[in-house]
Structure 1
Amino acid sequence: MPIVAWHGVRASQVSVARFREAAELGITVNYTRFSDTETACKALEYAGQAGVKLIVECDALYSDTRREAAVKKLMRYPALEAYFCKDEPLCSEFPTIARMMNAVQAVDPDHYCYANLFPGGPAEHLQALGVATYREYVQRYLNEVPAAFLSFDEYPLVTNPGSSVRLIKDTWYEDLEIVADEARKANKKFWAFALTCPHVVYPVPTLSDLRLQLYSDLAYGAQVLQYFTYWTPTVSGDWNYRMAPIAEDGARTATYDLVKTVTSEIQRLSGVFLGARVVSVRHTGTSVPKGTVRLTDLPEPVRRLETEGSGAVVSQLENQGYTFLVIVNRDPNTAMGLRFEAESRVRQVLKNGSIVPADDITEMTVDPGDAVIYMW
């Protein structure tokens, strides 16, 4: 499973050792902004020795007069993954992004261009984007920009001052529904995020926080996972960025080991998710998130699926001739009771990737944000 580090190894810190440190956490692709092409080339050389790919952003790529020469330099490096074009564009910026992507790929058609979309939000946010609905924003991007894939960021877990209780943004699952649907219709993969750097109202991540974001992304069919951020950004203002896996001074934080743990867990389950086709995504609970569909019908070998508490994401996937049922506890704060009954041919996929028989009747407690996976 590709894992992208946003604000990865800093340009001023690039070395083989630093990229190996990122790879140790589980990073496969590093995105960093470089001011000049020469530093980017040095980073590509070091990253290649560490087995890490780079999404490169540098000033020359934005220049009509310097872009071609920069691409010709960068494209020679085996560690090059992609060229960074834009983060969170307005609709009015789509033509500029399209021109840039076309110009880059006219020189180097073998490497894709990267852009990432805003999440949805209230009416004033959508108006600022230049659309009436979030679906319109996503559709316009796919229609107007020669995108190789569809990426969007949304950090769904927030807290109130003085409280550790996680609240879920009411747009998150609706946005996942829209992005997954539009990517499928456009025959493109979609990329999604987990927040690994707390700031403003976003809390220091726990294992449950990370699991909820990543397993929900995967349940909807995400094929690339991105971490915002790897290195703690240094910015002015009230953002209060802190406790990313790597601190501003380059030291590891407690978040490093936490993210390493969940990344390793995800990679052991890549046979479930990587290359999977989403058959359906449904939700259980007294109420279901805005824009989602309630689970009413169970797949044939499943006799009973009941959840307690806030409810679950229930995703049916197909991969390499097998069907997988992924059940994600949608509550970031509280464990969920699960009662599951199925035919004897149904098996359970454990967190270490091993496959064991599923009991005819299973009652279990699912930790906050965690997932249980069955297959047949």
Structure 2
Amino acid sequence: MKRVRINTLLLCCAATLLGAGILGAQPKLPQKEIPILAWYGIPADEATVERFQELKDAGFTLNFRGYSNADEVVKALDAAQKVGVKIIAACPELRNDTEATVKRFMKHPALAGYFLRDEPLSSDFPALGEWARKVQAVDDKHFCYLNLFPNGGKEHLDALGVQSYREYVSRFDREVPMQFLSFDHYPITYDGMKPEWYENLEEFSDESKKAGKDFWAFAMATKHWKYPHPTLATLRLQMFSDLAYGAQGLQYFTYWTPVNSEGFDYEFGPIGLDGRRTVAYDLVRQVNGEIKALSGVFAGAKVKWVRHTGKTIPRGTQRLTKLPEPVDVLETEGLGAVISLLENDGRTFLVIVNRDYQQPMRLIFSADPSVKRILKDGSIVSAGDYTPAMNVDPGDVAIYMW
């Protein structure tokens, strides 16, 4: 009996010491909420508590899906509320009977905001601005949501009705009152990475900063058209690059696999056409888990600067030529990296993203003994505990803090 009591006492003491960090348990960054949106989410005929729990289990906090009528939206709101997921409402009544529909939804605990439309031309801005103001006159507590086109060449800009992509974003901000800005850009195709993607992140993040607003960005999670099956590396690269540029909301296109139309041949979204999970569900869940563990780095962070390394750097970006003061050595091999300096809650974070989604990147990093390394689970350790040379997996991230 005495031996049992002694062993119990030892276990209790060990648990106490671990909790206090005395026996080697590492401190962790506090977790914050980063909105993660399932675009083309749960359909009306599947809007059950079980389906919303499944969505939440994959790391999503928001569901967006166009519904046929306001009653379907309310049904989805009721189910989502039971598991703590929120809904961006979208239905014809929101356009046709704005005031009454907003009043119907606005007090529901599961409401996040109101969807207006996707990818407008500049000629659409005046009417969208009027619609947004009508919504906000009734409910200024929930956001209006609208997603902008990506950048592109002259033909694309002509179709948008602007001379430059910056004009497109800045005009939208002036004419349509939104709480944050959002754009889509799916950079990885069967032919490789689009050369204009990082230029798009540069311009959109800068225009958002000028507007004094957060921005949200995307990752492609569903195979279709010229876009291949997502991999762990391609999802990481898109999400960690978005975060390195300061994105404060993340979105996946899509969650539920759309029915094939217009020759796009959608398949293998996280939830397949038959309503069952695909491999992409597990990949998205893993990446979202990593983002949640690292949310203390990114949620609420302010970008000081973003630079790039490599023999060649992406179009429209700037090369890293000067290291921040505590860093003695930062060298990358292979394709190169995104290097972002963030400030958050009085701390400085150096974020290094491997731009190669096919090959690991050799990183050599050395810094002042005060510099910490943030592990993928959010643990804080001394950077000096690790050798200067390491491999960063394809599309993955290494993070340091001081």
Q: Same fold (TM over 0.5)?
A: yes
Paired position in structure 2 for 1:163: none
Paired position in structure 2 for 1:126: 157
CA drift at 1:171: 1.0
Distance in 2, Cα, partners of 1:296 & 1:210: 28
Paired position in structure 1 for 2:399: 373
Moved more, 7-16 or 356-365: 356-365
**SS of the residue 1:261 aligns to:** helix
**Residue 6 (structure 1) aligned with residue 39 (structure 2):** yes
2:249 to 216, 219, 224: 224
Which amino acid in 1 is paired with 2:391? Answer: T
Paired position in structure 1 for 2:224: 199
Paired position in structure 1 for 2:356: 331
Distance in 2, Cα, partners of 1:133 & 1:304: 38
**Residue 73 (structure 1) aligned with residue 104 (structure 2):** yes
Which amino acid in 2 is paired with 1:373? Answer: I
Which amino acid in 1 is paired with 2:115? Answer: F
Deviations 1:55-84 (A, max 9, x none): 011001111xx2211111111211000000
Runs (4 or more) in structure 1 with deviation over 4 Å come to none
Distance in 2, Cα, partners of 1:27 & 1:232: 16
Distance in 1, Cα, partners of 2:353 & 2:113: 32
**SS of the residue 2:167 aligns to:** helix
Which amino acid in 1 is paired with 2:72? Answer: T
- Computed over aligned residues only, the root mean square deviation of the Cα atoms, in angstroms, reads 0.9
**SS of the residue 1:372 aligns to:** strand
Paired position in structure 1 for 2:275: 250
Deviations 1:59-117 (A, max 9, x none): 01111xx2211111111211000000011000000011101100111111111100000
**Residue 62 (structure 1) aligned with residue 95 (structure 2):** yes
**Residue 156 (structure 1) aligned with residue 190 (structure 2):** no
Distance in 2, Cα, partners of 1:208 & 1:38: 40
**SS of the residue 2:66 aligns to:** strand
Distance in 2, Cα, partners of 1:98 & 1:232: 31
1:171 to 190, 193, 196: 196
**SS of the residue 2:388 aligns to:** strand
CA drift at 1:361: 5.4
TM-score, length basis structure 1: 0.97
Gaps of 5+ in 1: 161-166
TM-score, length basis structure 2: 0.90
Answer whether contact 1:342 1:361 (CA < 8 A) is retained: no
Larger relative contact order (C-alpha < 8 A, sep ≥ 6)? 2
2:176 to 130, 137, 145: 145
Distance in 2, Cα, partners of 1:237 & 1:82: 29
CA drift at 1:144: 1.0
Distance in 2, Cα, partners of 1:10 & 1:85: 18
2:71 to 13, 38, 49: 38
Which amino acid in 1 is paired with 2:220? Answer: L
2:51 to 5, 10, 18: 18
Deviations 1:35-72 (A, max 9, x none): 11111111111110111000011001111xx2211111
Which amino acid in 2 is paired with 1:177? Answer: E
**Residue 352 (structure 1) aligned with residue 385 (structure 2):** no
Distance in 2, Cα, partners of 1:249 & 1:74: 30
Gaps of 5+ in 2: 1-33
**SS of the residue 1:192 aligns to:** strand
**Structure (1 or 2) with the larger CA radius of gyration:** 2
Distance in 2, Cα, partners of 1:228 & 1:247: 13
Structure 1 residues 220-369: aligned runs within 5 Å: 220-359=245-384, 362-369=388-395
Matched positions, count: 368
Which amino acid in 1 is paired with 2:37? Answer: V
CA drift at 1:201: 1.1
**Residue 211 (structure 1) aligned with residue 257 (structure 2):** no
Answer whether contact 1:4 1:27 (CA < 8 A) is retained: yes
Distance in 1, Cα, partners of 2:91 & 2:256: 18
